[in-house]
Amino acid sequence: MSGFFEHTPDSLREWCVNHGMPGFAAKQIFDWVYAKQVVDPALMSNLSANHRALLVEALPIDQGHLLADQCASDGTRKLLVGWKDSSTGLPVLHEGPSTETVLIPSDNRMTACVSSQIGCPVGCAFCASGLDGLEGNLSAGQIVEQVHRLSRLGLGRVTNVVFMGMGEPLANFAAVTNAITTLNASWGLGIGARKITVSTIGLPEAIRRLAEFPLPITLAISLHAPEDSLRRTLIPWAAHASIPEILDACREYFDATGREITFEYLLLRGVNDRPHHARMLADLASTVRCNINLIRYNEVPGLPFDRPADIDVRIFQETLRDRRINAHIRASRGRDIAAACGQLRRSHTQADQST
């Protein structure tokens, strides 16, 4: 059974007619869910009692089930959402497919960090998301539901979306781009295309496909190293595409869209945070219209990486800026909860297995 968030106005209108409801009911339902953020059909007062009962039975609004909700001292909220077991169709209450989604509030925005896959196939050496591999792709509706859930936490509507949660977004291309269409649409969540960022480890052919996508979203490349040999030790999938190949695709993306590329660079103490790494990174960045986000590592228990020293982060940034590279240090958020991507999911699963 597909859920509400999988639908467009046209497909929901067809669903309504096929289920004995008037076609205009689709617009009413969209208004309740997206404009009013009401997900309980019993509260949709301009629908008949029979039609409200039909929605409960045949068109679930939320497909997921909230497994955990953590709030950091800085206001960051991290949710763990369990999805139905594909083999049984039943909601997951404990172990099973689940993903993280995070709401990051700041002075003038509410940013949703969403997952695109259950687990991750990339297997980055420093990341908790891929420790158990890939369990499956999320649907477009499951991606949209994450953002909708965050919007109705009572902290304000989501203004920005970053695909920086679990999974490689461009390995789930159709679902991610369909979800972005809904997130941006006036009948959906109405989030500006320029406020939506897709972060990828760098899949050149998928980047070229994304360049043809009609919405001017931001492309972010998870670079994390300035040369291929080091990058391949950190990111196994980097063996499939060299940095020069990724940069070529990024130039094509900029030429097609006019959108500057963002390079994400995760600083790991003593691994990729030395001044010579910064100089090499500056040489790469000088060949592409880009900016660089420097990210201080959030430690993951059991993994052999440490958070960089503050002085080293500042020197790294200054080295880039001395070479006229636009580089920012991203503020660390949610440090007092399971801050690293995939960490809440993993800790929840391990707790279940120990009981």
Q: What average pLDDT does range 295-299 have in this prediction?
A: 92
99 plus 46 within the same structural domain: no
- Note the pLDDT of residue 348: 45
> For position 199, which CATH number holds?
3.20.20.70
Confidence of residue 171 (pLDDT cuts 50, 70, 90): very high
171 plus 300 within the same structural domain: yes
Would the pLDDT of 353 be above 80? no
Q: Compare 102 and 354 and report the one with higher pLDDT.
A: 102
Burial of 213 (0-12, 13-18, 19+ CB in 10 A): middle
Residue 193 amino acid letter: A
Question: Which of 58, 75, 93 is the last residue before a domain boundary?
Answer: 58
Query: Which among 6, 100, 168, 264 is annotated as catalytic?
Result: 100
Q: What average pLDDT does range 341-347 have in this prediction?
A: 50
- For residue 122, give its domain range: 65-354
230 plus 269 within the same structural domain: yes
Angle at 302 between CA 296 and CA 305, to 5 degrees: 30
- Note the pLDDT of residue 96: 64
Query: Which among 113, 250, 290, 341 is annotated as catalytic?
Result: 341
Burial of 229 (0-12, 13-18, 19+ CB in 10 A): exposed
Question: Which of 19, 35, 58 is the last residue before a domain boundary?
Answer: 58
pLDDT in tens, 239-254: 999 999 999 999 999 9
72 plus 54 within the same structural domain: no
Whose tokens are 């980047």? That residue is 207
122 plus 36 within the same structural domain: no
Domain count, the chain: 2
Least confident of 79-93, 125-139, 175-189, 308-322: 79-93
Start-to-end CA span in the chain (Å): 32
Question: Which of 22, 43, 58 is the last residue before a domain boundary?
Answer: 58
Radius of gyration (Cα) for the chain, nearest Å?
A: 21
51 plus 70 within the same structural domain: no
pLDDT in tens, 264-274: 999 999 999 99
Tell me, yes or no, if 16 is annotated catalytic: no
Would the pLDDT of 87 be above 60? no
112 plus 256 within the same structural domain: yes
Give pTM, 2 decimals: 0.91
70 CB neighbour count, 10 Å cutoff: 17
> For position 14, which CATH number holds?
1.10.150.530
- Note the pLDDT of residue 337: 56
- Note the pLDDT of residue 301: 85
100 plus 186 within the same structural domain: yes
**Could you tell me if 97 and 114 are in contact, meaning their C-beta atoms sit under 8 angstroms apart?**
no
CA distance 289 to 302: 37
- Note the pLDDT of residue 107: 83
Confidence of residue 131 (pLDDT cuts 50, 70, 90): confident
Tell me, yes or no, if 252 is annotated catalytic: no
69 plus 53 within the same structural domain: no
51 plus 96 within the same structural domain: no
167 plus 282 within the same structural domain: yes
39 plus 152 within the same structural domain: no
Would the pLDDT of 159 be above 80? yes
Would the pLDDT of 277 be above 70? yes
